Amino acid sequence: MMNTYLSICRASRSIFHRSWLVGLVFLFSGPLIANNGYQLWLNYEPLLPGQQMQYQATIGTVFLKPNTPTRRVIRDELKTGLGSMLSYTVPFAENNAEASKVLIDLVDAPVIQSKVAEKDRTAITKEGYLILQKGEQLIITAQTEVGLLYGTFHLLQLIQRGESLKGLSILNKPKIQKRVLNHWDNLDRTVERGYAGFSIWNWHELPEYIDQRYIDYARANASIGINGTVVTNVNANALVFRADYLEKAAALADVFRPYGIQLYLTARFSSPIEQGGLDTADPLNPKVQQWWNETVEKIYERIPDFGGFLVKANSEGQPGPQEYNRTHADGANMLAKALEPHGGIVMWRAFVYSDEEPTDRAKQAYDEFVPLDGTFLPNVLVQVKNGPIDFQPREPIHPLFGAMPETPLMMEFQITKEYLGQGTHLVGLANMYEEILQTDTYVEGEGSIVAKVIDGTLHDQQLTGIAGVANIGTATNWTGNLFGQADWFAFGRLAWNPYTSAAAIFKEWSALTWGQRPDVQAVSQQLLDESYEACVQYMTPLGLHHIMAAGHHYGPGPWVSEMSRADWTSVYYHKADAEGVGFDRTQSGSNALEQYASGFRQKYADSDDCPLDLLLWFHHIPWDKKLRTGRTLWAELCLQYQQGVEKADSFLPLWEQVKGEVDEERYRQVKMHLQIQAKEAKWWRDACLSYFQTFSKMDFPQGHPEPAQALDYYLQISHPYAPGIRPRW
Ligand code: BDP
């Protein structure tokens, strides 16, 4: 009754969306349902009464045998989803398939065999599914139980978006096998680079106490096809291998299992010393190998479907095989051997940089890993960040993509926005992910895009994977900034199919998150679509990078010059001087460009035709050089910052248009963050340009606003409350 009433209210609102009418309707319809964002894109908002009736008639009775944990999850999700969207208590049948309108079963079930042609059944891959209309019946079938679950979520999402179910024939399969979240969560529940509260893993209360969040986390991930999670930080703690922690991890794995999600742990390379009492962690030492074998055995006794290890070694002070004059391959293969009999894998990170300060940090991973191509065991994936430095707002692709044809490479994206405004800025990351996945490596000629490296098709890899550093915490809405949910969602969608367009993802997320209110959806899509470029412009335009404040990385800090390593400073990266700005990575400089295939090199080698968005990444350009835009570099830089600020300024009034059409809580959350973003975009512009002006000695172009404060003011800003700072072990 209540639901029907509310649906009518909603109907009125989406039909009459002009603001004065909204006000009028509001008077008669009462407030919108409160929504604190906890339900993510699984809101299951009630549909209009007419739509509800149509869908009810199509769904009728559902044939589903709830005889396994995953099938019970499917049943419960259908109950919740259809109950809420359609005000429908869906009846389930376990036997009478003929009288049911929806049939959910595996491909080898007799009822499916009798209805679905063999060629259609065999086309379905392990985690894929088929949704097919056959006469009056709608069939969801798959090879595996988790495929059935994915198909069910697909159906529920179609309904939530008000799509027709007539004549459905959807064959959907993931293009990447390991679709994994990386939590940089410490055992004390702090989250490295986390901006949404503390870690959701409550090690204190596990294994007995199962927080509802674990279940909802698994649901949310399964609904977007994520099938693995590394629950501990890459800056790892060996304590996790102690028996009590393994019990706790096993309890989480038990929650995740019905949702098709495997649990992984980070492995600190020195664990045999710290937990095993050995005096070495040398990967070629038999005692060390034995310790790992036994540890792995212990893990599988408790977690039979354990996924494997993620390892950060010989990077930023983390221990690794190089301490024993062994290679990354020696280290990875030792772990891989221990895991292999159980079906586990190693994800070995390529984010390495040595203790000696290099001439160009961007070159290191390539230099260390390319010689090892072909030496890793088949159950090792090398996990590579999207760019050669470190999750900057814009980087070129990592030169390793395509450069190790004999080794499966896994993509590592950051979903948490360490360098993109952290918790307070709205930045639709799908545009960045898409840009990277679509970039051409040229390694096998034109069209060798990064997506093809990652999905294994470019070099015929058997094992494939993609990782996203999670932006999830104890915040009520999971991600702190509400629009961060869209980044989590986007990661899942692209992990399933890296060819999906960002625009399609924005559209889908907006529909699922804001319900059937076309103007709210349109505003949400516009914000997501415009915000990535805006952020790059007001933070690091034209290929500038790593000019954030030191340590916590929040806010501008192009002046940072005193750190324990030169390659942690900003001046190392922008190289501003009286003559110009930018890092020369061509032959006349560090020659990092040489690490890319020739097609790629040609695009960026010549400063006159280098795409402007990466100009200062690859070139040191005189301040007064005329660019092909007709402006000097200095004028172009000013313009870019200004355009970024103007865009950020436009977001708030755009959002204000939906006041009254969005529940008050989410409306206010977004509004407050947009206010901060607009203010901080100006902070970035004024601080960076005031600083760079001390080198360019050029006036601001006509019409460009004077910085609000003198440079000294910006130099003195301290931001000690920025969360997620990296602990120094
Ligand atoms: C950088 C972070 C640091 C991480 C490191 C990594 O600043 O906190 O530990 O990457 O990826 O982005 O290992």
- Any residues with CB less than 8 A from the CB of 703 and at least 6 apart, and which? none
- One-letter amino acid of 148: L
Kindly state if the Cβ of 418 falls inside 6 Å of ligand 1.
Answer: yes
Instruction: Based on the fold, state whether residues 129 and 239 are members of the same structural domain.
Output: no
Please give the number of the atom of ligand 1 that sits closest to the Cα of 469.
11
Q: How far is CA 410 from CA 292, 376, 501, in A?
A: 24, 14, 20
- Ligand 1 centroid to Cα of residue 120, in Å, is 45
Please give the number of the atom of ligand 1 that sits closest to the Cα of 235.
9
Query: Does 515 fall in a domain?
Result: no
Q: Give, for ligand 1, the residue of 192, 312, 316, 725 to mutate: max count of ligand atoms closer than 8 Å to Cβ.
A: 316
What is the structure's pLDDT at 412?
99
Kindly state if the Cβ of 235 falls inside 6 Å of ligand 1.
Answer: yes
Kindly state if the Cβ of 351 falls inside 6 Å of ligand 1.
Answer: yes
What is the structure's pLDDT at 142?
98
- Ligand 1 centroid to Cα of residue 646, in Å, is 31
Domain CATH code at residue 696: 3.90.1330.10
- Ligand 1 centroid to Cα of residue 636, in Å, is 31
What is the structure's pLDDT at 297?
98
What is the structure's pLDDT at 27?
37
- Residue 593 structure tokens: 């460009």
Query: Does 706 fall in a domain?
Result: yes
Please give the number of the atom of ligand 1 that sits closest to the Cα of 391.
12
Instruction: Based on the fold, state whether residues 126 and 265 are members of the same structural domain.
Output: no
CA nearest ligand 1 atom 10, residue: 390
Query: Does 17 fall in a domain?
Result: no
Please give the number of the atom of ligand 1 that sits closest to the Cα of 192.
8
Residue 262 pairs in a beta bridge with: 228
Please give the number of the atom of ligand 1 that sits closest to the Cα of 419.
12
Instruction: Based on the fold, state whether residues 163 and 207 are members of the same structural domain.
Output: no
Tell me the backbone φ, ψ of residue 245, rounded to 5 degrees: -65, -35
Q: Work out how many domains the chain is built from and give that number.
A: 3
Domain CATH code at residue 71: 3.30.379.10
Q: How far is CA 412 from CA 263, 283, 385, 713, in A?
A: 17, 25, 4, 37
CA nearest ligand 1 atom 12, residue: 390
- Residue 58 structure tokens: 């199509």
Query: Does 591 fall in a domain?
Result: no
Alpha carbons 297 and 486: distance in angstroms, whole number: 38
Instruction: Based on the fold, state whether residues 577 and 430 are members of the same structural domain.
Output: no
Instruction: Based on the fold, state whether residues 410 and 545 are members of the same structural domain.
Output: no
| Residue range(s) defining the domain that contains residue 642 | 537-583+620-715
Query: Does 724 fall in a domain?
Result: no
Kindly state if the Cβ of 234 falls inside 6 Å of ligand 1.
Answer: yes
Instruction: Based on the fold, state whether residues 187 and 255 are members of the same structural domain.
Output: yes
Instruction: Based on the fold, state whether residues 579 and 706 are members of the same structural domain.
Output: yes
Please give the number of the atom of ligand 1 that sits closest to the Cα of 193.
8
What is the structure's pLDDT at 24?
40
Alpha carbons 719 and 680: distance in angstroms, whole number: 13
Q: Which of 487, 504, 521 is the last residue of a domain?
A: 504
Query: Does 526 fall in a domain?
Result: no
Q: How far is CA 301 from CA 294, 297, 603, in A?
A: 11, 6, 53
What is the structure's pLDDT at 357?
64
Kindly state if the Cβ of 161 falls inside 6 Å of ligand 1.
Answer: no
Query: Does 446 fall in a domain?
Result: yes
Would you name the residues annotated as active-site residues? Answer: 316, 390, 418
Kindly state if the Cβ of 391 falls inside 6 Å of ligand 1.
Answer: yes
Alpha carbons 617 and 615: distance in angstroms, whole number: 5
Please give the number of the atom of ligand 1 that sits closest to the Cα of 553.
7
The pLDDT tens digits of the residues spanning 327-357 come to 999 999 999 999 999 999 999 999 997 767 6
CA nearest ligand 1 atom 7, residue: 726
Kindly state if the Cβ of 192 falls inside 6 Å of ligand 1.
Answer: yes
Kindly state if the Cβ of 193 falls inside 6 Å of ligand 1.
Answer: yes
E strands within 649-714?
Answer: none
Instruction: Based on the fold, state whether residues 353 and 474 are members of the same structural domain.
Output: yes
- Ligand 1 centroid to Cα of residue 538, in Å, is 23
What is the structure's pLDDT at 75?
98
Q: What DSSP string runs through 263-276?
A: EEEE--TTHHHHTT
Q: Give, for ligand 1, the residue of 191, 266, 351 to mutate: max count of ligand atoms closer than 8 Å to Cβ.
A: 351
Kindly state if the Cβ of 551 falls inside 6 Å of ligand 1.
Answer: no
- Ligand 1 centroid to Cα of residue 560, in Å, is 18
CA nearest ligand 1 atom 9, residue: 235
Instruction: Based on the fold, state whether residues 233 and 265 are members of the same structural domain.
Output: yes
Backbone CA torsion sign across 555, 560, 564, 565: positive
Q: Which of 172, 200, 219 is the last residue of a domain?
A: 172
**pTM score, two decimals?**
0.95
Q: Beta-carbon neighbour count of residue 189 at 10 Å?
A: 17
Q: How far is CA 432 from CA 455, 502, 532, in A?
A: 18, 9, 7
What is the structure's pLDDT at 454?
98
- Ligand 1 centroid to Cα of residue 550, in Å, is 13
Q: How far is CA 701 from CA 178, 632, 636, 689, in A?
A: 50, 10, 9, 12
Instruction: Based on the fold, state whether residues 328 and 359 are members of the same structural domain.
Output: yes
Q: Which of 141, 172, 203 is the last residue of a domain?
A: 172
Instruction: Based on the fold, state whether residues 579 and 459 are members of the same structural domain.
Output: no
List of the chain residues with pLDDT < 70: 1-31, 355, 357, 726-729
Question: Cα angle at 243 between 240 and 245, to 5 degrees?
Answer: 40
- Ligand 1 centroid to Cα of residue 678, in Å, is 27
Query: Does 213 fall in a domain?
Result: yes
Note the helical H segments in 554-619: 571-574, 598-605, 615-618
CA nearest ligand 1 atom 8, residue: 726
Instruction: Based on the fold, state whether residues 207 and 127 are members of the same structural domain.
Output: no
Longest CA–CA span in the chain (Å) reads: 82
What is the structure's pLDDT at 581?
98
Query: 728's torsion region: left (phi>0), alpha (psi -120 to 50) or beta?
Result: beta
Kindly state if the Cβ of 726 falls inside 6 Å of ligand 1.
Answer: yes
Kindly state if the Cβ of 127 falls inside 6 Å of ligand 1.
Answer: no
